[in-house]
Structure 1
Amino acid sequence: MPIGMLGRKVGMTQIFNSKGNAIPVTVLQIGPCTITNSDLAINSQIQIGYEYINPKKITASRLGYFKKRKIPCFKYLKSCKISVNESTNIDIGEVLTTKNFSIGALINVSGISIGKGFSGYQKRHHFSRGPMSHGSKNHKQPGSIGAGTTPGRVFPGKRMAGKMGTNRVTIKNLKIIDINNEENLIIIKGSVPGKNGNLLYVYNK
């Protein structure tokens, strides 16, 4: 059954296959996650909780939400759609672990990319630079950004300098190389968005 889980990025390394080729991999610590709500009949989706938190550090309304369902308090909540059939049976309080994934399967990983701060147009949009010869004063200037009288303004979405990074990025079809169920670790081929320790949403197809 396709299902989603929350986790964190541990870091990147490399492993060697039987032929001696180096494979770049990323280590993810996924779960355990607990099902905190179920809405299979109407929207075919469930809600999962990740990372326990002290009840004194959350609002009264959220504390009542967890007490009503008789489950521990979680720092992160995430709703995810699943495929439902007649045999699907999911109970609130059920714990999801890396055992829901299998070696060789393809998964999608979604997270926040690394922030680059305020970046110029060359770094942000890969624009070419100006002439570097003597007399030129247009090395890294953006140049004209629009016409004069008509239309008399700059159109929205003009590619210029600005904040770069910290966007929601999803990498699809990453292959699972190995799974460690005792430590809740998944080793996947390739890279995932964000820096080490970032929160990730992982779901299989």
Structure 2
Amino acid sequence: MIGIIGKKIGMTSLYDGKGHKKACTIIQGGPCVVTQLRTKSIDGYQAVQLSYDDKKEKNTSKSLMGHFAKASTTPKRKQVEFRCDDEAVWQQVALGQVVRIEDVFVEGQFIDVVGTSKGKGFQGVVKRHGFSGVGSRSHGQHNRERAPGSVGAASFPSRVFKGMRMAGRTGGNRVKVTNLQVVKVLPEKNLIVLHGAVPGANNGYVILEK
């Protein structure tokens, strides 16, 4: 398998063999269930759908109940497709198969993590884009420290160009962090410890990829 779905637990710090302190993120990875297999003959591409985190039947539609029944599993909250073009891996996957964290990752390897960043709401240009403002107050100005400044010319082009960095909603975006090293894998607790920060809040879903 090329990936797994997990949930961010929080952060901690660990010491390596040289006495260096590392900031680490703890993620509960799986166990996930294979709930659908996409084939080139039917769907035009080859992928494996994994489902994670149990959900109450009363909160699940009948169509999804039938979808999970085909895989002989209980309803799940999160479904993610992983492209699988490697025939060797594809031959080892079966509908209803349970995928655990130790089946995918080993200690020492580098992986990618996809998550949804924390939403910050409507923010100004200083927080959103890192503007420095105009500096100190002088000559009577008292409210320009965090202002965006000029956004365009006057008679030409008589408009603001698209893509101008301005105030707006910040965060809540899909973010991918690459090359995080696996520090520890704890199969008995379905936990994986990564060196570095992972986007999103605690208890948020993340996707771990090779």
Give me the TM-score of the superposition, normalised by structure 1.
Answer: 0.92
One of 117, 122, 132 as aligned partner of 1:128: 132
One of 107, 118, 121 as aligned partner of 2:111: 107
* 1:143, distance to aligned residue in structure 2 (A): 2.0
SS at match of 2:188: coil
Task: State the one-letter code of the partner of 2:36.
Answer: N
Give the match for residue 13 of structure 1. 12
- Aligned-partner Cα distance in 2 for 1:183–1:172: 24
One of 48, 52, 55 as aligned partner of 2:54: 52
- Number of residues of Structure 1 aligned to a counterpart in Structure 2: 203
Give the match for residue 21 of structure 2. 22
- Aligned-partner Cα distance in 2 for 1:117–1:143: 21
Give me the TM-score of the superposition, normalised by structure 2.
Answer: 0.90
* 1:164, distance to aligned residue in structure 2 (A): 1.1
Question: Does the CA contact (< 8 Å) of 2:33 and 2:51 recur in 1?
Answer: yes
SS at match of 1:182: helix
Q: 112-121 or 62-71: which moved more?
A: 62-71
Give the match for residue 190 of structure 1. 196
* CA shift digits 1:55-79 (9 cap, x unpaired): 2211122122223443321111111
* 1:46, distance to aligned residue in structure 2 (A): 0.6
* 1:40, distance to aligned residue in structure 2 (A): 4.4
Question: Does the CA contact (< 8 Å) of 2:34 and 2:71 recur in 1?
Answer: no
- Aligned-partner Cα distance in 2 for 1:155–1:59: 45
* 1:149, distance to aligned residue in structure 2 (A): 2.1
* 1:23, distance to aligned residue in structure 2 (A): 1.0
How many percent identity over aligned positions? 35
Moved >6 Å (runs of 4+): none
Alignment CA distance shift 1:144-1:63 (3 Å): same
Give the match for residue 117 of structure 1. 121
Give the match for residue 91 of structure 1. 94
Task: State the one-letter code of the partner of 2:97.
Answer: E
Q: 140-149 or 49-58: which moved more?
A: 140-149
- 1:149 equivalenced with 2:155 (yes/no): yes
RMSD: 1.6
